[in-house]
Structure 1
């Protein structure tokens, strides 16, 4: 524990001196807000039916009713609230230290905590669009829909969440922006991610800055690349940086 405390103190000092920090986060950032992780021992991939299959573009097209039954029950956590990790990142942005949050999460908790520059690699449950006319629908409109498959009031088209499903590509503009932030960062903090999801994890290969900090509860394949590795809860650690 003493070594971890020393590492946290060193990282805190680096953060205090820097004005060019980028944060890259995964599901572990949201688990402390009681949102389940796909790949943890109690995550969604342990469900009876494959979440990967249900959350695929082809399944959505063929079985929208079954998709929405799973999606509303398992993927939307409307009552979740930001945890210390989200709040710390928002404060670092307000202090002019954090340039951007790059997240694999779709829950919108970073914005709810007050972060303004958030790149959502996999989209957001808070944005939904008609597949025919692209009319926008909020998360409340989806949750309050009495139909098994929410449909557009304008054209009766099926509404699709603005999340990247399996078999779909990530948004190229968001990828380019994320690459730019990472490549120019002085400090890169990676937290709450197994770094096994590509192409998202591959973005870290573009980092060439001075201080690579990795915070996760379990080892990752990128640990040997990091200058500082901390095995602990992301919120617990991040709250000690300010």
Structure 2
């Protein structure tokens, strides 16, 4: 039995699957992977992306932050790909219990997934730092410079920036789902961004599946490692 046959068998035999995904899940939708060779981190900007996407940079250089944010992180025309669609179908069948994602693009929900835990927030939600009023992504994209609320306050994306803490409730819910999972599929993530990557440690089962283009620090602990396209791996479940 080859690797893909084993993966299909594991998925078909389980009724309690959790999926944990990173940037590689959305690359087929045209959203760049920060750490790939042709991703955001290899391009040249006035400031490194890690700096621009930090809380302190947002506060000191808000206009420069938004220039980068609108240009590189907001992809209003992006559509769900075969991974998003397959995961939504697995949830509809009652097999997949939750998607835990590091992505901020909202494509899982657009594909039809209902239980999505967004560790790093979403570009689809934005709020006024003064009054708390929420705005959608269209308002941000149509704003010139820094988006301003009707009350005069500055609008901030509901996205976890560097130097900011993850939402405790989402973290706790993610831990609960992972710790009770029969199968944990981890895909499209290099597992280097903490604390999100540390959630894998809570898995207690013996069906840990890792799907990634390049090796990760947990490959030697996985029960099954699939090297290559995560889209190809999930094409069977579309």
CA RMSD of aligned residues (A): 1.0
Of 132, 149, 154, the match for 1:152: 149
Structure 1 regions of 5+ residues with no counterpart? Answer: none
1:241 Cα shift?
4.1
Distance 1:158 1:46 in 2: 30
1:217 Cα shift?
0.7
* Mapped pair 1:104 → 2:106: no
Secondary structure, in 3 states, of the residue corresponding to 1:166?
coil
* Mapped pair 1:18 → 2:6: no
Q: How does 1:82-231 map to 2 (within 5 A)?
A: 82-145=80-143, 147-153=144-150, 155-231=151-227
TM-score normalised to the size of structure 2? Answer: 0.97
Distance 2:193 2:213 in 1: 17
Distance 2:13 2:38 in 1: 39
TM-score normalised to the size of structure 1? Answer: 0.95
Distance 2:161 2:54 in 1: 5
1:209 Cα shift?
1.2
1:17 Cα shift?
1.6
Of 220, 234, 237, the match for 2:233: 237
Secondary structure, in 3 states, of the residue corresponding to 2:236?
coil
Query: Does the 8 Å CA contact 1:8/1:241 hold for their aligned counterparts?
Result: no
Aligned residues: 236
Distance 1:47 1:62 in 2: 22
Structure 2 regions of 5+ residues with no counterpart? Answer: none
1:50 Cα shift?
0.3
Query: Does the 8 Å CA contact 2:32/2:39 hold for their aligned counterparts?
Result: yes
Large movers: runs of 4+ above 4 Å: none
Cα deviation code 1:72-119 (max 9, x no counterpart): 001101111111000000000000000000000000000000000000
1:210 Cα shift?
2.6
Secondary structure, in 3 states, of the residue corresponding to 2:117?
strand
Of 33, 51, 54, the match for 1:53: 51
